[in-house]
Amino acid sequence: MDIPTTPAVSTGPLTELLDGRWGHVRREARKRMAEMPPPAAYDLTTEQHRAQVFDELKLLADAGYPRIGFPEEYGGDGDTGGSLTSFEMLGFGDLSLMVKAGVQWGLFGGAVEALGTRRHHDAVLRGIMDLDIPGCFAMTETGHGSDVQHLRTTATYDPGTREFVLHTPHESARKDYIGNAARDGRMAVVFAQLITGGQTRGVHALLVRIRDEQGATVPGVTIEDCGRKAGLNGVDNGRIWFDHLRVPRESLLNRYGDVAEDGTYSSPIEGDGRRFFTMLGTLIRGRISVAGAAGSAAKSALAIAVRYGLTRRQFEAPGGDGEVVVLDYLAHQRKLLPALATSYALHFAQEELVTTLHELAGVEFTDGERSGDDDPDHEHRQRELESRAAGLKAAGTWHASRTIQACREACGGAGYLAENRLPQLRADTDVFTTFEGDNTVLLQLVAKGLLTGYRQHVGELGSVGMARFIADQVVSTVVERTAARSAIERLVNAVTPNDEETDLLDRGWHVKLFEDREKHVLDTVVRRLRHAGDDGADPFEVFNDAQDHVLRAARVHVDRIVLEAFIAGIERCTDEPTKQLLNRVCDLHVLANVEADLDWFLGHGRLTTARAKAVTGAVNALCKHLRPHAATLVDAFAIPEELIAAPIATGAEAARQDAQRAHEAEQLSGTTR
């Protein structure tokens, strides 16, 4: 393997490519965020931090920031992609603000918009945008976080008074971890089991007042503060109990299910399960926002650690002059550069996901009454999008956790100091792997999508009961290319069949390797699950024994999607030197992924032992090759210096190191050894 020479690259074209379709939103956000209070919040008490974040949220509202994502008829821009890009950019600042904004405008506002009808929109959308009505998204309960279909809060219709009675039947049914609940929320979208005429109709959402204008909790509602958390302490999470709270019939967000005055239930969607999953579609944007913000946090951490690694020196090289810059050590490069490469890959995957959602939302908007709901192709694309949002959220948030941690360790003791921001980045993003869907549960969702083809073919069967059915599906069609179809086709077709001699940097070989892994893992999962319906087999046991295998299927699927998006991104690049650099970054991303999964490739005869060793050698060589470009690669994220903020990354450290070297040169003849 020969690595082609990569010329020096300026950040300009690289930043432009990364900025992509919503570049204008990103540039505007950079300007705005550089002028806001610095992201550091570690010297604040919980109450101070909450107050600061609320004030910042108000500034955003006053500047009209949240309008971008809301419908034009309510003064918004209807720019879904721009809205998601804005959330991603907030990830460069104090993540408490990003999450608080996400709760207010993404989850609370988004649920009212998506699940409500005109009466709700007219009543509250403007107030939500302006922050006159701070609100909560009250879904999770103590007893049910991942399994939200089985929430226990009840909303029982009373035809006598034409009201719903909202109730928390026992302790585990209390709403928990609800953002905006402990301090600021005035209203809440509450998810509850709808009961009318003595019959349960599944989970529905109601728009409910929880505090009055003066901020006092309304009768029938009890709120408790969740208290201090690992991070995100600018967000006021709380617990909510309802004690037979009576709310008008019109509180029901009735787009997907309604109750007439006499208590008759109606819905445009048949089946409690299918209706519920349609409602859950509103969570997609939340997941995409979290993935985006996680990506931004990882980029901030990488910018800090790479810059520090380029100024920090430790240990004299044998026979060398002076101490070695720590990023020259292979072990240090390995901590940071493959993670940096994967951050690039995920950036392009995120951009593609946002674009897809934006276009799908566009179809909705232009269709007026969103008749798209009943269009099978629309539903197909919607399911595909949900699956990809779930998969990328899991991949992106785990990547952020690992990467920020590696950055902290790479900065040693300096990385442990709050002033250098890594502790807060780490602590704030930690829960990203859990909220908006636990990552493990999300990967199962992805796997379920892969296994069934698409849900509508199999109705509402659970992930296990239908195992035999699944097994009979044709899965070979699942590997459906998501981006840059023709370019990838060309690459794959150009690969010679003899893998052993193919260059390790051959992109077509990379794609084939990832596709082949995905197909094989999926195929073998299906074979295992086939036995779930056998006589005497305990379906839970069959599923459970295969759980790690199922999760692997989802992971390698996401790996392939991400790679394709990276390739498509490089295809869009028109600046030749930038393209060359990105190709090497992509090589490192791919081969580090292969190396991490080497046991699979070896164990399944996909790589010989010689070639496996060559992969490790190539990762090392690519790290060395990209080392001179490390500064460019983090600078191209164009994070405002005011937001990077860490003294070790913003010149102060470099100045001190320079002073030391000057001093030592001066003293050189002062003492003898």
Q: Which of residues 463-502 bind a copy of itself (CB under 8 A)?
A: 464-465
Name the DSSP letter for residue 141.
Answer: B
Instruction: Give the amino acid at 583.
Output: N
Smallest separation (angstroms) from a copy of itself to the CB of 465: 4
Binders of a copy of itself: how many residues, by CB under 8 A? 102
Give whichever of 10 and 660 is closer to a copy of itself, judged by the CB atom: 660
Report which secondary-structure segment, H or E, holds 380: helix 376-410
Helical ranges in 463-530 per DSSP H: 467-472, 485-493, 507-529
Q: Is 355 in the site for a copy of itself (CB under 8 A)?
A: no
Task: Name residues contacting a copy of itself, limited to 271-330 (CB under 8 A).
Answer: 313-320, 323-324, 328-330
CA gap 305, 285 in Å, rounded = 30
Give whichever of 440 and 502 is closer to a copy of itself, judged by the CB atom: 440
Look-up: residue for tokens 């930043």? 15
Look-up: residue for tokens 């379920």? 448
Return the range that interacts with a copy of itself (CB under 8 A); candidates 368-376, 491-499, 537-545, 558-566: 537-545
Q: How many residues does the chain have?
A: 673
x/- site string to a copy of itself, residues 223 to 262, per CB under 8 A?
A: ---xxxxxx-------------------------------
CA angle at 234 for the pair 228 and 236, rounded to the nearest 5°: 65
Task: Name residues contacting a copy of itself, limited to 394-423 (CB under 8 A).
Answer: 401, 405, 408-409, 412-413, 415-419, 422-423
Task: Name residues contacting a copy of itself, limited to 50-89 (CB under 8 A).
Answer: none
Look-up: residue for tokens 């109601």? 206
Buried b / exposed e along 511-528 (16+ C-beta atoms within 10 A): bbbbbbbbbebbeebbeb
Classify the C-alpha dihedral 433-436-441-442 as positive or negative.
negative
Nearest Cα residue to 546 out of 560, 516, 520, 526: 526
Task: Name residues contacting a copy of itself, limited to 107-146 (CB under 8 A).
Answer: 140, 142-146
- Kindly state the tokens that stand for 446: 């992805």
- The pair phi, psi for residue 222, each rounded to 5°, is -120, 135
Q: Is 462 in the site for a copy of itself (CB under 8 A)?
A: yes
Q: Is 673 in the site for a copy of itself (CB under 8 A)?
A: yes
Task: Name residues contacting a copy of itself, limited to 357-376 (CB under 8 A).
Answer: none
Q: Is 426 in the site for a copy of itself (CB under 8 A)?
A: yes
Give whichever of 365 and 416 is closer to a copy of itself, judged by the CB atom: 416
- CB of 397 within 8 A of CB of 433? yes
Task: Name residues contacting a copy of itself, limited to 635-664 (CB under 8 A).
Answer: 656-657, 659-660, 663-664
Our CA dihedral for 463, 464, 470, 476, rounded to 10 degrees, sits at 60
Q: Is 564 in the site for a copy of itself (CB under 8 A)?
A: no
Give whichever of 116 and 202 is closer to a copy of itself, judged by the CB atom: 202
Give whichever of 18 and 532 is closer to a copy of itself, judged by the CB atom: 532
Report which secondary-structure segment, H or E, holds 201: strand 199-209
- CB of 200 within 8 A of CB of 194? yes
Q: Is 669 in the site for a copy of itself (CB under 8 A)?
A: no
Task: Name residues contacting a copy of itself, limited to 187-206 (CB under 8 A).
Answer: 195, 198-200
- CB of 292 within 8 A of CB of 442? no
Cα end-to-end distance, the chain, whole Å? 46
- Collapsing DSSP states into helix, strand and coil, what is residue 593? helix
- The pair phi, psi for residue 411, each rounded to 5°, is -95, 5
Q: Is 551 in the site for a copy of itself (CB under 8 A)?
A: yes
Q: Is 434 in the site for a copy of itself (CB under 8 A)?
A: yes
CA gap 596, 598 in Å, rounded = 6
Give whichever of 193 and 482 is closer to a copy of itself, judged by the CB atom: 193
Q: Is 43 in the site for a copy of itself (CB under 8 A)?
A: yes
- Collapsing DSSP states into helix, strand and coil, what is residue 248? strand
Return the range that interacts with a copy of itself (CB under 8 A); candidates 179-187, 425-433, 480-488, 572-580: 425-433
Q: Which of 31, 58, 119, 150 binds a copy of itself (CB under 8 A)?
A: 150
Task: Name residues contacting a copy of itself, limited to 590-629 (CB under 8 A).
Answer: 595, 598-599, 602-605, 609, 612-613, 616, 620
Smallest separation (angstroms) from a copy of itself to the CB of 266: 18
CA gap 219, 559 in Å, rounded = 50
CA angle at 181 for the pair 178 and 182, rounded to the nearest 5°: 115
Q: Which of 4, 7, 35, 45 binds a copy of itself (CB under 8 A)?
A: 45
Q: Is 539 in the site for a copy of itself (CB under 8 A)?
A: yes
Q: Which of 548, 665, 668, 669 binds a copy of itself (CB under 8 A)?
A: 548
Give whichever of 279 and 594 is closer to a copy of itself, judged by the CB atom: 594
